[in-house]
Structure 1
Amino acid sequence: MVAKRESVKYKICALIALLIAAYSIFYVFSSYRNERYFSCLAQHHVHNNNVRSNMLMRFIFNGDTGMVSLDGEFINEQGHHKIISRKIIFDFTIDKKNYLLNSRMIIPSVFDEIDEHTIPRLLDNFYTQERRPAVYQIHYNGKGGYIFMNDNAPYLLCASN
Protein backbone atom coordinates (compact mmCIF):
# COMPACT_ATOMS: atom_id res chain seq x y z
CA MET A 1 0.00 0.00 0.00
CA VAL A 2 2.81 2.41 0.90
CA ALA A 3 4.62 1.56 -2.35
CA LYS A 4 1.48 2.40 -4.32
CA ARG A 5 1.18 5.80 -2.62
CA GLU A 6 4.82 6.56 -3.36
CA SER A 7 4.25 5.57 -7.00
CA VAL A 8 1.22 7.87 -7.28
CA LYS A 9 3.11 10.77 -5.63
CA TYR A 10 6.01 10.22 -8.02
CA LYS A 11 3.65 10.23 -11.03
CA ILE A 12 1.93 13.41 -9.84
CA CYS A 13 5.28 15.16 -9.28
CA ALA A 14 6.50 14.02 -12.70
CA LEU A 15 3.28 15.28 -14.32
CA ILE A 16 3.57 18.66 -12.59
CA ALA A 17 7.23 18.98 -13.65
CA LEU A 18 6.28 18.09 -17.22
CA LEU A 19 3.49 20.70 -17.26
CA ILE A 20 5.83 23.38 -15.89
CA ALA A 21 8.46 22.53 -18.52
CA ALA A 22 5.86 22.59 -21.32
CA TYR A 23 4.49 25.95 -20.15
CA SER A 24 8.01 27.40 -19.92
CA ILE A 25 8.85 26.28 -23.45
CA PHE A 26 5.54 27.67 -24.74
CA TYR A 27 6.10 31.00 -22.95
CA VAL A 28 9.64 31.44 -24.28
CA PHE A 29 8.60 30.49 -27.82
CA SER A 30 5.50 32.70 -27.84
CA SER A 31 7.34 35.75 -26.48
CA TYR A 32 10.08 35.25 -29.10
CA ARG A 33 7.43 34.85 -31.79
CA ASN A 34 5.38 37.86 -30.61
CA GLU A 35 8.33 40.25 -30.84
CA ARG A 36 9.43 39.03 -34.28
CA TYR A 37 6.12 38.24 -36.01
CA PHE A 38 3.53 41.01 -35.97
CA SER A 39 2.00 43.68 -38.15
CA CYS A 40 0.36 46.99 -37.44
CA LEU A 41 -1.00 50.13 -39.11
CA ALA A 42 -0.27 53.75 -38.14
CA GLN A 43 -1.26 57.21 -39.36
CA HIS A 44 1.71 59.52 -39.79
CA HIS A 45 1.40 63.31 -40.15
CA VAL A 46 4.39 65.65 -40.56
CA HIS A 47 4.67 69.42 -41.11
CA ASN A 48 8.03 71.02 -41.94
CA ASN A 49 8.52 74.48 -43.51
CA ASN A 50 5.24 74.60 -45.47
CA VAL A 51 5.59 70.99 -46.63
CA ARG A 52 3.16 68.42 -45.18
CA SER A 53 2.55 64.72 -45.39
CA ASN A 54 -0.38 62.56 -44.39
CA MET A 55 0.12 58.84 -44.81
CA LEU A 56 -0.64 55.37 -43.59
CA MET A 57 2.34 53.25 -42.57
CA ARG A 58 1.81 49.49 -42.47
CA PHE A 59 4.61 47.62 -40.68
CA ILE A 60 5.09 43.88 -41.10
CA PHE A 61 7.71 42.08 -39.00
CA ASN A 62 8.40 38.53 -40.15
CA GLY A 63 11.28 36.82 -38.35
CA ASP A 64 14.46 38.72 -39.24
CA THR A 65 13.02 40.74 -42.12
CA GLY A 66 10.16 43.12 -42.55
CA MET A 67 8.41 45.62 -44.74
CA VAL A 68 6.83 49.00 -44.25
CA SER A 69 4.34 50.27 -46.80
CA LEU A 70 3.82 54.03 -47.10
CA ASP A 71 0.65 55.29 -48.77
CA GLY A 72 -0.58 58.86 -48.66
CA GLU A 73 0.05 62.36 -49.90
CA PHE A 74 2.58 65.16 -49.70
CA ILE A 75 1.60 68.78 -50.08
CA ASN A 76 4.47 70.98 -51.30
CA GLU A 77 5.09 74.70 -50.70
CA GLN A 78 2.86 75.66 -53.63
CA GLY A 79 -0.03 73.58 -52.23
CA HIS A 80 0.21 70.87 -54.91
CA HIS A 81 -0.77 67.40 -53.74
CA LYS A 82 1.54 64.53 -54.68
CA ILE A 83 1.00 60.84 -54.03
CA ILE A 84 3.47 58.75 -52.09
CA SER A 85 3.20 55.00 -52.47
CA ARG A 86 6.26 52.90 -51.74
CA LYS A 87 7.48 49.89 -49.85
CA ILE A 88 10.64 49.62 -47.79
CA ILE A 89 12.07 46.13 -47.28
CA PHE A 90 14.29 45.88 -44.21
CA ASP A 91 16.27 43.52 -42.01
CA PHE A 92 16.09 43.91 -38.26
CA THR A 93 17.67 42.78 -35.02
CA ILE A 94 16.39 43.14 -31.48
CA ASP A 95 18.33 44.04 -28.36
CA LYS A 96 15.88 43.99 -25.46
CA LYS A 97 13.12 46.32 -26.75
CA ASN A 98 15.40 48.18 -29.19
CA TYR A 99 14.68 47.26 -32.78
CA LEU A 100 17.48 48.11 -35.21
CA LEU A 101 16.00 48.28 -38.71
CA ASN A 102 18.22 48.52 -41.80
CA SER A 103 16.57 49.41 -45.11
CA ARG A 104 17.45 46.94 -47.84
CA MET A 105 15.27 48.08 -50.74
CA ILE A 106 13.08 51.09 -51.49
CA ILE A 107 10.36 50.15 -53.99
CA PRO A 108 8.27 53.08 -55.28
CA SER A 109 5.00 52.14 -56.96
CA VAL A 110 4.06 53.51 -60.38
CA PHE A 111 1.75 55.98 -58.58
CA ASP A 112 4.55 57.47 -56.43
CA GLU A 113 4.94 61.13 -57.47
CA ILE A 114 7.13 62.49 -54.70
CA ASP A 115 10.42 64.05 -55.70
CA GLU A 116 13.58 62.91 -53.98
CA HIS A 117 14.43 66.47 -52.84
CA THR A 118 11.24 66.96 -50.81
CA ILE A 119 10.91 63.58 -49.13
CA PRO A 120 14.02 63.87 -46.86
CA ARG A 121 12.44 66.96 -45.29
CA LEU A 122 9.60 64.81 -44.00
CA LEU A 123 10.94 61.29 -43.51
CA ASP A 124 14.10 59.79 -42.03
CA ASN A 125 16.78 58.37 -44.35
CA PHE A 126 15.60 54.85 -43.51
CA TYR A 127 12.43 55.50 -45.55
CA THR A 128 14.18 57.21 -48.47
CA GLN A 129 17.53 55.48 -49.04
CA GLU A 130 18.81 51.92 -49.05
CA ARG A 131 21.17 50.67 -46.32
CA ARG A 132 20.11 53.26 -43.75
CA PRO A 133 19.28 52.48 -40.11
CA ALA A 134 16.34 53.33 -37.90
CA VAL A 135 16.18 52.47 -34.20
CA TYR A 136 12.87 52.21 -32.37
CA GLN A 137 11.85 50.90 -29.01
CA ILE A 138 8.67 48.96 -29.74
CA HIS A 139 6.34 48.18 -26.86
CA TYR A 140 3.11 46.19 -26.97
CA ASN A 141 0.53 48.47 -25.38
CA GLY A 142 -1.70 45.68 -24.06
CA LYS A 143 -4.67 46.87 -26.13
CA GLY A 144 -3.84 45.25 -29.45
CA GLY A 145 -1.33 47.84 -30.64
CA TYR A 146 2.29 48.88 -30.46
CA ILE A 147 4.02 52.08 -29.43
CA PHE A 148 7.11 52.99 -31.45
CA MET A 149 9.44 55.16 -29.38
CA ASN A 150 12.30 57.25 -30.75
CA ASP A 151 14.60 57.68 -27.74
CA ASN A 152 12.12 58.56 -24.99
CA ALA A 153 9.54 60.22 -27.23
CA PRO A 154 6.57 58.40 -28.77
CA TYR A 155 6.90 58.28 -32.55
CA LEU A 156 3.95 56.16 -33.71
CA LEU A 157 0.92 54.44 -32.25
CA CYS A 158 0.53 51.41 -34.45
CA ALA A 159 -2.73 49.41 -34.25
CA SER A 160 -2.64 45.66 -34.84
CA ASN A 161 -4.37 44.48 -37.96
Structure 2
Amino acid sequence: MNKPQLFGTFTLLSLLFLLLAMGAYHLYSQYQQTHFSCEALLVIDKDDAELALAFNFILQGNDGIATLKGNLRQGDKTTGVSRKSYFTFNQKEGLYHLQSTSTVTTPADNSKTEDIARYLPLFYLQPGLKFDFTVYPVSEAGYVFSTGQVPSFYCARK
Protein backbone atom coordinates (compact mmCIF):
# COMPACT_ATOMS: atom_id res chain seq x y z
CA MET A 1 0.00 0.00 0.00
CA ASN A 2 1.43 3.38 -0.93
CA LYS A 3 1.35 6.51 1.26
CA PRO A 4 -1.76 8.13 -0.33
CA GLN A 5 -3.76 4.91 0.05
CA LEU A 6 -2.58 4.47 3.64
CA PHE A 7 -3.47 8.08 4.46
CA GLY A 8 -6.92 7.68 2.85
CA THR A 9 -7.59 4.48 4.79
CA PHE A 10 -6.45 6.09 8.03
CA THR A 11 -8.67 9.15 7.37
CA LEU A 12 -11.70 6.98 6.57
CA LEU A 13 -11.21 4.86 9.72
CA SER A 14 -10.75 8.01 11.82
CA LEU A 15 -13.99 9.51 10.51
CA LEU A 16 -15.82 6.23 11.10
CA PHE A 17 -14.51 6.09 14.68
CA LEU A 18 -15.54 9.73 15.25
CA LEU A 19 -19.07 9.05 13.97
CA LEU A 20 -19.37 5.96 16.19
CA ALA A 21 -18.14 7.91 19.22
CA MET A 22 -20.61 10.75 18.56
CA GLY A 23 -23.46 8.24 18.19
CA ALA A 24 -22.50 6.48 21.42
CA TYR A 25 -22.35 9.79 23.26
CA HIS A 26 -25.79 10.78 21.93
CA LEU A 27 -27.30 7.45 23.03
CA TYR A 28 -25.66 7.78 26.45
CA SER A 29 -27.04 11.32 26.86
CA GLN A 30 -30.54 10.16 25.95
CA TYR A 31 -30.23 7.26 28.37
CA GLN A 32 -29.10 9.59 31.19
CA GLN A 33 -32.17 11.80 30.68
CA THR A 34 -34.59 8.90 31.08
CA HIS A 35 -32.74 6.68 33.57
CA PHE A 36 -31.81 8.29 36.87
CA SER A 37 -32.73 8.45 40.52
CA CYS A 38 -32.37 11.26 43.00
CA GLU A 39 -33.51 12.41 46.44
CA ALA A 40 -34.90 15.74 47.59
CA LEU A 41 -35.93 17.13 50.96
CA LEU A 42 -38.97 19.36 50.78
CA VAL A 43 -40.44 21.46 53.58
CA ILE A 44 -43.61 23.44 52.92
CA ASP A 45 -44.80 25.92 55.56
CA LYS A 46 -48.28 27.29 54.99
CA ASP A 47 -50.62 28.88 57.47
CA ASP A 48 -50.42 26.83 60.67
CA ALA A 49 -49.05 23.69 58.97
CA GLU A 50 -45.76 22.16 57.88
CA LEU A 51 -45.29 19.34 55.41
CA ALA A 52 -41.78 17.86 55.63
CA LEU A 53 -41.04 15.18 53.05
CA ALA A 54 -38.20 13.19 51.62
CA PHE A 55 -38.87 12.68 47.90
CA ASN A 56 -37.21 9.87 46.00
CA PHE A 57 -37.55 9.97 42.21
CA ILE A 58 -36.71 6.96 40.07
CA LEU A 59 -37.00 7.27 36.29
CA GLN A 60 -36.45 4.19 34.14
CA GLY A 61 -37.12 4.58 30.43
CA ASN A 62 -40.80 5.59 30.19
CA ASP A 63 -41.82 4.73 33.75
CA GLY A 64 -41.16 6.34 37.09
CA ILE A 65 -41.89 6.26 40.79
CA ALA A 66 -42.04 9.15 43.23
CA THR A 67 -41.78 8.01 46.86
CA LEU A 68 -42.91 10.48 49.53
CA LYS A 69 -42.04 9.93 53.20
CA GLY A 70 -42.32 12.36 56.05
CA ASN A 71 -44.73 14.18 58.35
CA LEU A 72 -47.60 16.63 58.13
CA ARG A 73 -47.99 18.90 61.14
CA GLN A 74 -51.25 20.85 61.36
CA GLY A 75 -51.46 22.87 64.55
CA ASP A 76 -50.69 20.43 67.35
CA LYS A 77 -51.53 17.32 65.29
CA THR A 78 -48.79 15.41 63.40
CA THR A 79 -49.49 12.58 60.98
CA GLY A 80 -47.19 10.37 58.91
CA VAL A 81 -46.97 10.46 55.13
CA SER A 82 -45.73 7.39 53.25
CA ARG A 83 -46.90 7.11 49.64
CA LYS A 84 -45.74 6.04 46.21
CA SER A 85 -46.90 7.56 42.98
CA TYR A 86 -46.28 5.52 39.84
CA PHE A 87 -46.24 7.33 36.51
CA THR A 88 -45.36 7.13 32.87
CA PHE A 89 -43.43 9.91 31.19
CA ASN A 90 -41.82 11.19 28.07
CA GLN A 91 -39.33 13.99 27.82
CA LYS A 92 -38.06 16.36 25.22
CA GLU A 93 -35.25 18.84 25.77
CA GLY A 94 -35.49 18.68 29.56
CA LEU A 95 -39.29 19.02 29.73
CA TYR A 96 -40.87 15.96 31.32
CA HIS A 97 -44.53 15.16 30.67
CA LEU A 98 -45.81 12.81 33.38
CA GLN A 99 -49.08 10.97 33.86
CA SER A 100 -49.82 9.22 37.14
CA THR A 101 -50.89 5.60 36.71
CA SER A 102 -51.41 4.54 40.32
CA THR A 103 -50.83 5.67 43.86
CA VAL A 104 -50.13 3.51 46.89
CA THR A 105 -50.57 4.51 50.50
CA THR A 106 -48.44 2.37 52.82
CA PRO A 107 -49.54 1.26 56.29
CA ALA A 108 -47.18 3.86 57.82
CA ASP A 109 -49.34 6.65 56.33
CA ASN A 110 -52.11 8.04 58.52
CA SER A 111 -52.59 11.39 56.75
CA LYS A 112 -55.73 12.31 54.87
CA THR A 113 -55.28 12.80 51.14
CA GLU A 114 -57.37 15.98 51.34
CA ASP A 115 -54.94 17.44 53.88
CA ILE A 116 -51.85 16.63 51.80
CA ALA A 117 -53.57 17.99 48.68
CA ARG A 118 -53.46 21.48 50.22
CA TYR A 119 -49.67 21.45 49.81
CA LEU A 120 -48.80 19.10 46.94
CA PRO A 121 -50.07 18.73 43.37
CA LEU A 122 -52.81 16.10 43.08
CA PHE A 123 -50.57 14.29 40.60
CA TYR A 124 -48.76 12.67 43.55
CA LEU A 125 -52.01 11.63 45.21
CA GLN A 126 -54.36 10.37 42.47
CA PRO A 127 -53.99 8.25 39.33
CA GLY A 128 -54.80 9.55 35.86
CA LEU A 129 -53.46 13.08 36.32
CA LYS A 130 -50.88 14.90 34.23
CA PHE A 131 -47.98 16.99 35.46
CA ASP A 132 -45.11 18.72 33.67
CA PHE A 133 -41.76 19.81 35.01
CA THR A 134 -38.37 20.79 33.69
CA VAL A 135 -35.18 19.13 34.90
CA TYR A 136 -31.89 20.99 34.78
CA PRO A 137 -28.78 18.87 35.41
CA VAL A 138 -26.38 20.45 37.90
CA SER A 139 -23.04 18.76 37.15
CA GLU A 140 -22.87 15.14 38.31
CA ALA A 141 -24.30 16.08 41.72
CA GLY A 142 -27.98 16.28 40.90
CA TYR A 143 -30.84 18.13 39.25
CA VAL A 144 -32.99 21.20 39.75
CA PHE A 145 -36.69 20.48 39.19
CA SER A 146 -38.89 23.38 38.09
CA THR A 147 -42.61 23.66 37.39
CA GLY A 148 -42.29 27.06 35.77
CA GLN A 149 -39.80 29.87 35.81
CA VAL A 150 -38.98 29.36 39.50
CA PRO A 151 -37.06 26.27 40.72
CA SER A 152 -39.16 23.94 42.87
CA PHE A 153 -36.43 21.86 44.50
CA TYR A 154 -32.97 20.36 44.17
CA CYS A 155 -32.75 16.59 43.79
CA ALA A 156 -29.37 15.02 44.67
CA ARG A 157 -28.24 12.15 42.48
CA LYS A 158 -28.22 8.74 44.16
TM-score (norm: length of structure 1): 0.94
The CA RMSD measured in Å over matched residues stands at 1.1
| Contact 2:80 2:108 (8 Å CA) reproduced | yes
| Aligned residue number for residue 151 of structure 1 | 148
Cα deviation, residue 70, structure 1: 0.4
SS class of match (1:138): strand
| Aligned residue number for residue 131 of structure 1 | 128
| Contact 1:48 1:121 (8 Å CA) reproduced | no
Q: Which amino acid aligns with 2:5?
A: S
> Which whole-Å CA distance do the structure 1 matches of 2:31 and 2:92 have between them?
15
Q: Which amino acid aligns with 1:18?
A: L
Unaligned ranges ≥5, structure 1? none
Unaligned ranges ≥5, structure 2? none
| Aligned residue number for residue 73 of structure 1 | 71
> Which whole-Å CA distance do the structure 1 matches of 2:78 and 2:51 have between them?
9
> Which whole-Å CA distance do the structure 1 matches of 2:26 and 2:77 have between them?
51
SS class of match (1:129): coil
The 5-angstrom pairing of residues 17-28 of structure 1 reads 17-28=15-26
> Which whole-Å CA distance do the structure 1 matches of 2:146 and 2:34 have between them?
17
After superposition, give the CA deviation of every residue in 1:32-79 in whole Å (9 maximum; x if it has no partner).
1010000000001112221211010000010001001001000023x2
Cα deviation, residue 143, structure 1: 4.0
Q: Which amino acid aligns with 1:136?
A: F
List structure 1 segments (4+ residues) > 6 angstroms apart after TM superposition. Answer: none
| Aligned residue number for residue 44 of structure 1 | 42
SS class of match (2:91): strand
> Which whole-Å CA distance do the structure 1 matches of 2:127 and 2:144 have between them?
25
| Contact 2:140 2:157 (8 Å CA) reproduced | no
> Which whole-Å CA distance do the structure 1 matches of 2:103 and 2:111 have between them?
13
> Which whole-Å CA distance do the structure 1 matches of 2:114 and 2:96 have between them?
28
Cα deviation, residue 4, structure 1: 0.9
| Contact 2:34 2:61 (8 Å CA) reproduced | yes
TM-score (norm: length of structure 2): 0.96
Q: Which amino acid aligns with 2:97?
A: L
